[in-house]
Structure 1
Amino acid sequence: MLENTQISILGCGWLGFPLAKHFIAEKSTVKGSTTSADKVADLKNAGIQPYVFTLGANNNADVYRNFVAESDVLIINFPPKRVEHIETLYPAQIQEIASHIRFRQKVIFISSTSVYQNTNDWVTEDLVNQPEKASGKAILAAENILREKLQNRLTILRFAGLFGYDRAPGRFLANKKELSSANAPINMIHQDDCIRLISAVIRKNVWGEIINGCADVHPIRKRFYILAAKKLGLQPPEFKEETTVSFKKISNLKSKMLLQSTYKYPNPLVFVL
């Protein structure tokens, strides 16, 4: 049950804000953080207790403590910034908030399938991670910091590419040229399914786990993004002709079995056809 649960959401943006409203509808008490004072009114109007801070910006130790204090669950939900020193900055930000997590508090870390390398096959949570990009390396380092500190009080949700509502996939690659991986299967998950999985972790008390979140169907990259752009009336992307392809297909089987959950949007193609 989520009723009377106290939840702190670090990062009330595209996913965190509707997630917070979902929990409030379930009679939970929610604290939400933002880096912008302009968003405070929106958070208050939604019934969210607002906290404004930027990790690493200055000495906000008291703010961090108050944000985390008395919460049953902390949801860490902010991606690493695309900066040159991402591999050191992001883990340091996670360490900063982790130092204020109290004994017995549970944590959900919103991670990414970018921690997985391309295998040209299905990828499960058991794969030994060898991230290929700096962002993936930064996220994996953050995961390891939290796993060492929290152990069985932590569940990591590794989400595939996020889409839904105002994040229309047709805008991602529109008008781009000479794109690679035309025939690679893609991995995506709708905002609503992210919220369903996060909620299920808490309702079913599933801790100490790493769980992938990804739609059932993996459309081919070229077809999907051309259709997506056309549906919005945008110039479709153009892809290079390639004889080889490098990819990974994210398995969601564990999420279905462990959380006893189905996906509201199992096929991303329905949004572009």
Structure 2
Amino acid sequence: MIISILGCGWLGLPLAEILRNKGHIIKGSTTDPDKLEILKGKQIDPYFINLEPTLNEDADDGFWDADLLILNIPAGRRRDNVEEFHPKQIAAVIEKVKKSPIDFVIFVSSTSVYPERPGVVTENDTVAGKAVRSTGNALIEAESILMSESSFKTTVLRFGGLYGYDRHPGRYMSGRKNLDKGNAPINFIHRDDCIQIIQQVIDENITGEVFNAVTDGHPPKKLFYPAMAEALGLEKPTFKDEDIEDYKLVSNQKLKDKLNYEFKYPNPMDI
């Protein structure tokens, strides 16, 4: 297949390399002109594409000449208007896809789409405008726009907190004191599992679906973060004593049932 990956960063670049090694022709985009040579050196056809929120005028339309698009652009946490900005980015992409041979889009989303309510949440538990953060609301709208488009098929992958390799969770809260929500379970996933899940969706042509992608293990923050800091030789964070036990836990059951998926890293504590 010819696969275009919009966003060859921390997740997109190793994904591109693995798909290339499987025999696919890979086109990869970056917003950094200096990275074009890096992509070229890895036998990935390089494209400079920037969405602000429409495409840069000098973007090469050859990027859209593909069978499959992996849409992997962040919602942009630092933008005050992300709930308007990100859906406009997605709309600009859709206009290009509609004029192209692409008939399948894999959208990399996030479990931040869920409201902060206690209990187990499944793929059906999103409510427009009710996510915890504005980025989550932006992703809900982006998912809706893509899934309602009839000119191509879409599958949405809602990844949990990403970790692995140089992204080590132990650094996030090292040395911080009296943190809240120590009993809250984490909803994480290793980069290797993200890539394997995307590969399986491609190989099995699983379209028109929404999946949560988080590990089986959900250790509480008060156990996980001190252990990770200790593993790195950093100062452990501390958490307040609290009686609250009922926090949000993201279910991965649909992913395991539909894909029969087995995690390479089923529990973040294993690292």
TM-score normalised by the chain length of structure 2? 0.93
Which residues of 2 match residues 55-66 of structure 1 at below 5 A?
A: 55-56=51-52, 60=56, 63=59, 65-66=61-62
- Per-residue deviation, 1:128: 3.8
Q: 1:121 — aligned with what?
A: 119
Q: 1:252 — aligned with what?
A: 252
CA distance in 1, matches of 2:76, 2:180: 24
CA distance in 1, matches of 2:125, 2:37: 43
- Per-residue deviation, 1:261: 1.7
- Per-residue deviation, 1:60: 2.7
The answer to whether 1:41 aligns with 2:45 is no
Return 5+ residue gaps in structure 2 as ranges.
none
Does the aligned pair in 2 maintain the 1:152–1:208 contact within 8 Å? Answer: no
Identify the range of structure 1 (210-219 vs 60-69) with the bigger mean alpha-carbon deviation.
60-69
* Matched letter for residue 67 of structure 1: F
* Matched letter for residue 97 of structure 2: I
The answer to whether 1:263 aligns with 2:233 is no
Q: 2:73 — aligned with what?
A: 78
- Per-residue deviation, 1:252: 1.0
CA distance in 2, matches of 1:150, 1:135: 25
Distance 1:59 1:155, change over 3 A: closer
Identify the range of structure 1 (222-231 vs 60-69) with the bigger mean alpha-carbon deviation.
60-69
The answer to whether 1:140 aligns with 2:140 is yes
Deviation by residue 1:124-158 (Cα, 9 ceiling, x = unmatched): 11224331211100111111111122477000000
Moved over 4 A (4+): none
CA distance in 1, matches of 2:240, 2:250: 24
- Per-residue deviation, 1:213: 0.4
Distance 1:73 1:59, change over 3 A: closer
Q: Percent of counterpart pairs with the same letter?
A: 43
TM-score normalised by the chain length of structure 1? 0.92
Does the aligned pair in 2 maintain the 1:16–1:77 contact within 8 Å? Answer: yes
CA distance in 2, matches of 1:259, 1:151: 25
CA distance in 2, matches of 1:116, 1:151: 28
CA distance in 1, matches of 2:97, 2:170: 39
CA distance in 1, matches of 2:54, 2:123: 36
Identify the range of structure 1 (78-87 vs 123-132) with the bigger mean alpha-carbon deviation.
123-132
